[in-house]
Chains A and B, each alone.
Chain A
Amino acid sequence: MCEVDEDYGEPSPEGLQPSRPGREQKCVKCKEGLPVVVIRAGDAFCRDCFKAFYTHKFRAVLGKNRLIFPGEKVLLAWSGGPSSSSMVWQVLEGLSRDSAKRLRFVPGVIYVDEGAACGQSAADRAKTLAEVKLVLHALGFPWHVVALEEVFGLPPSVLRHCASEPAGTGAAYKVAVDHFLQQQCALGAEREEQLSHPCPKDPEPPAAPPTATQTEALCRLFDSVKTLTAREELLQTLRTHLMLHVARTHGYSKVMTGDSCTRLAVRLLTSLALGRGAFLAWDTGFSDERHGDVVVVRPMREHTLKEVAFYNRLFAVPSVFTPAIDTKAPEKASVHRLMEAFLLRLQARFPSTVSTVYRTSEKLLKAPRDGFAAGPPGPRCLLCMCALDVDTADSATAFGAQTTSHVSPTQPPVPEAGAADGPCCCAQMGGAQGCCREAARACVIEQLCYGCRVNLKDMPSLDPLPPYILAEAQLRSQRPSAEQEAWASLLGSDEEAQVGES
């Protein structure tokens, strides 16, 4: 907000500035060094100061939030792109620092191979993977390379919210740190050495490459989705589920993603336009506790993409280029692309756009925690695992307006309408299949939040979806009836008991 009055001035000469002999410009921090990069209007940094500034930001975000406890296993989500690469390198650097400032968590890296969804050929994928593994070997952290095809083997339990102890407050954090330090003293320097270099003794045994049928199934799934918008959302959903599964099976309690400030601002507006207003705080906040036991954190959220790009270039941070699902897509192809283009264009003219939007995201609150004010935890969306945000069908809301417009509001159903209903009825079609499919679809839709319902409209058939989603949907739809039965019997016995007493 305070940016509003900021002096926009002339767009500053961006980027690597060749040292201009005419002007005696010095680094704004140390006033001595030769400036190499201008990150904000007028602020030229020398190489060392830029590095200190960048690293400090990363550590400050982690320190301010105190969410990652010493000794905790943290999974770094690495896509190969600039932001996540920079994040991984920040962690690597942080772990090798002197003891007072060292990061104290235990990292692992996950790389999800999305080649099939992005239309890469098998040869290209193999080439990318080789590059990826080269970088991972050089890095030395334990790593997991998983193919997106593995979603077809996920168990339905991935979609369940696992409640965990509410992560402690500042006091608990201090206790944990003290405890950790004591432990380290007791174990001596020897152990410390080991901790500081978590040797990849047992790198993940190379997972078998996905079978051709799985790849085909994945391609069919993505081809069946009609719009790029829904495809991007689907990819994100599946990727999240996969990472969640890996984190759970390997005992990671945090997942770090490399979303930069710019990326988050784009995501914020995109989420808004996709009807995910209720979940903005989860989609873009520092920490995302929607899964319960595994918390997603975004430590790069204060770095702009520009800073990341220059840091990576100046300090030779390796990254791997992989085509994304929207690479080469025209600007109007999806809500994501539109928002990105719009925001970056506006940013070029008004340099405070991204930071303003980002700042707004910081004012977002998550709803009161479960078990308080909202009563018992409500049902969660099957796909994005956020609390359902749908209104009653005929309320005076955007949701209500869409549900009521399906039924012709004007006239009582005319005779022909009955015939139109025909295909849904199994009797006329001669087979129960069409009817069941409709019912299954309705059952899945019922369990989705507003935004996921809109996405599902672009998916004509649910059949290509990976089995764990459909299985969990069915399980959930059966659960309420089981619960009701349990209640009925409980009440019955209660009444009997009362009768008996009186």
Chain B
Amino acid sequence: MPAPQCASCHKARAALRRPRSGQALCGPCFCAAFEAEVLHTVVAGRLLPPGAVVAVGASGGKDSTVLAHVLRELAPRLGISLRLVAVDEGIGGYRDAALAAVRRQAARWELPLTVVAYADLFGGWTMDAVARSTAGSGRSRACCTFCGVLRRRALEEGARLVGATHVVTGHNADDMAETVLMNFLRGDAGRLARGGGLGSPGEGGALPRCRPLQLASQKEVVLYAHFRRLDYFSEECVYAPEAFRGHARDLLKQLEAARPSAVLDLVHSAERLARCGALASRALCQACALLDGLNRGRPRLAIGKGRRGLDEEGPPGAPPRPPARSALRSRGTWRSDAVAVRL
């Protein structure tokens, strides 16, 4: 069966069918559409203002490679300048090869590359050392927990080193959907409440972070890399098979088979959960709880134990209270409100 015509240029033979819309496109048209969508995400989401110095977290994998490539294409239009920041976690036999891929990419794109190493930043701890030290504890999945937290910090340090104003990472829609599922299975309401958007504005002195590929599906990221002939590193980390994420990933693949839009549906759910009113661990929701208490003539409803919300900004219109009492209940639900009433 011959391939149908490209639905966009109507000249070339289509090379793929887009997973989401079923549109048949040729390679160049697909790449142009993909870039346009990322541009739209960045512009409509106001992620990267003109003049921003953007540190791209480059791991050498497909996502960050595609992200760097797309942003490099879009950089003149967005008015941003790019820096590559790679993190050397110190995983023997895995990381060296990935870093070599990053070096090749940097050379090809002529972008400045900075490599920060765990060993330098964290007093000599490499991931191999961490793995050795956690191996006996029976909690092998702790490895990825350490690595994830440390990498976040390392990326921040690297971005500061190159004088960046923004940090971007290559997370795609599938990553996001997996994260939502994982957070639910772990009961991590705090992360659910924080993680819905396209990034964080950078609170507590941290640089603003964002994920321009968050609305792009993994399949399309891979397809884009294929059509642009990008050189990336696709081995799995030696410690990854033990990660909990694997469960979520398997489930997601099956869900996608049952309903193609499942990934984006999950992302939509995550966006909504993070907005005010869905989960109670953000300043906005505390504000709502406080205001609601005032509305019901019970100004102290949402005030009680739990000082987590203290340093977050309070509601704009709430009357000032003595500092000892103004600890905001960070997990105040309707039901705990009811308890407060009875007390």
Contacts and interface: CB of A to CB of B under 8 A. Distances in A.
Given A170-B338, A373-B288, A360 B266 contact: no
Interface string A409-429: 111001010000000000000
Contacts of B185: 346, 353, 356-357
B184 A1 contact: no
Interface residues of B, number: 71
Interface stretch (A121-129, A200-208, A210-218, A275-283): A275-283
Contact of B258 (A276, A332, A396, A397): A332
B7 interface: yes
B295 interface: yes
B41 interface: yes
A369 B291 CA distance: 11
Interface stretch (B111-119, B149-157, B273-281): B273-281
Interface stretch (A154-162, A334-342, A377-385): A334-342
Interface hub of B44, B215, B259, B291 (most chain A Cβ within 10 A): B259
Contacts of A66: 338
Given A332-B257, A363-B279, A410-B8, A397 B251 contact: no
Interface residues of A, number: 69
Contacts, number: 195
Contacts of A364: 273, 278-279, 333
Interface stretch (A44-52, A177-185, A265-273): A265-273
A398 B264 contact: yes
Contacts of B131: none
Q: Is the interface of A mostly helix, strand, loop or mixed?
A: helix
A376 to B, nearest CB: 16
A402 interface: yes
B269 A275 contact: yes
Interface hub of A171, A334, A360, A400 (most chain B Cβ within 10 A): A360
Contacts of B37: 401, 404-405, 409
Contact of B265 (A398, A400, A409): A398
Contact of A409 (B33, B258, B272): B33
21 contacts: A64-B335, A169-B341, A271-B269, A272-B184, A273-B181, A273-B262, A273-B269, A275-B266, A276-B269, A335-B255, A363-B281, A366-B334, A368-B288, A368-B292, A372-B291, A396-B45, A397-B271, A401-B264, A409-B40, A410-B8, A416-B10
Given A275-B266, A277-B268, A277-B269, 16 more contacts: A171-B341, A273-B269, A274-B265, A280-B278, A346-B185, A357-B184, A359-B187, A360-B192, A364-B278, A365-B280, A368-B277, A396-B47, A402-B20, A409-B37, A410-B33, A454-B261
Interface of B: 7-10, 18, 20-21, 23, 29, 32-33, 36-37, 40-45, 47, 173, 180-181, 184-189, 192, 198, 215, 247, 251, 254-255, 257-259, 261-262, 264-273, 275-281, 285, 288, 291-292, 295-296, 331, 333-335, 338, 341-342
